[in-house]
Structure 1
Amino acid sequence: MGEASPSAWLPQAVQELAGRLTTYIAENAKTARAFLKLVGTAGPLQDITIHTLDGKVDAQQMKAWLQPLLAGGEIGLVSEAGCPAVADPGARVVALAHAMGIRVAPWVGPSSILLSLMASGLDGQRFAFHGYAPVDPSERARQLKAWESISRKQDQTQILIETPYRNEAMFQTLKQALNDTTRLCVARSLTTGDEWIRTCSIAQWKKAAAPDLARKPTIFLFLAGRRN
């Protein structure tokens, strides 16, 4: 997803809740503050505590952050993009909260995985999100073929992302590695004015002009057709 006004993708009730909380757990404090500045806060932004959830944080540290909740407090968990704990390290915090007997309340937010699946026309009953494919071109092609095989056998939509500056290389590999009958959806800059989503067969993509994906947040989805 890209940058856009919260009113376009976040319900008013969620914005109001986000604005009144005084403590957060976030993967990146800087972007979390930018988000809070957009939605507006009841008190001064500088008075809001933001715990940074990076790879160095262990269970003991997270437990210390969550300890005030046992006395009835509230802490917000905010994702870098979209739904917390869905393809997001925040799942570690949620798991620990359950282990500590702390109530977890999910609030709706945009997920590029679900938004792109909704708009793709591909199978929304069976799908798998893989994150990133290998960077090495030959390994990447092999992995895509393996996912296509699973897709064909299980009628399962395959979903993956790529670093924005490698989007065009990924698109070319998808066209080269996948079968002509496989349907590929490309979803770019979701929730923004530059949003663009299109699903075609690989054969159709090979004939079409390449979409502008350079350095733009993009998610790829594909579904293989069954062979007779």
Structure 2
Amino acid sequence: MIPFHDLPFFMLAALILAISPGPNMIYLISKSITQGKKSGFISLTGIICGFMFHIIMVSFGLTAVLLAVPFAYTILKTLGTVYLLYLAYQAIKPKSKNIFEVDHTSAHDSPKKLFTVGFLTNVLNPKVAVFYLSFFPQFIKPGYGSIFTQSLELGVVQVLLSFSVNFIIVLTAAKVAVFFSNNPVWIRVQKWFMASVLTYLAVKMAFSKAK
């Protein structure tokens, strides 16, 4: 098991992943506003199952890679650093999409389709897999026991944080969309704040040492 004092940095990174604009957030906001909260929760269930799929696959992969490839940590750390900087740029790049602009013309979907699309939206989102592959090794230590078990532990923490954030998004999607539409300055503040935190995490990761 990973000691709790080793988790705050990971939790911060996981929180940033959850609140950063992406396919999951856009999908949840859209369905919650156009089809109601029930549809949003069904979509969220699919997204969470998608997270679990990634976690299981990555846990098996990290167990094999970290035990077989001596330089895997350095490779994954570099990958994570570059990706975080990419996310920071995406947050503030000119003419970036306003995620609170919702398409109200989309047709209503069945519960099965809501779940399936939510699941596939997450499973096919490379941001999730890259996050797991680049961040998990930073917190896994052989001395803490099974790499697979530690990966699952980190995954559960990430899923709980993501579920909490997305649950709130579903409950407040309409109000949040209206607020940001009426106060565009807050969108810019949110983007620059997010970019700053992502850059900090990237720098911290770049200078971190192997456990």
TM tier, shorter chain?
under 0.3
TM-score by length of 1: 0.19
Write 1 or 2 for the structure with the bigger share of helix: 2
With normalisation by structure 2, the TM-score equals 0.20
Q: Which has the higher strand share?
A: 1
- Structure number with greater CO (CA < 8 Å, separation at least 6) is 2
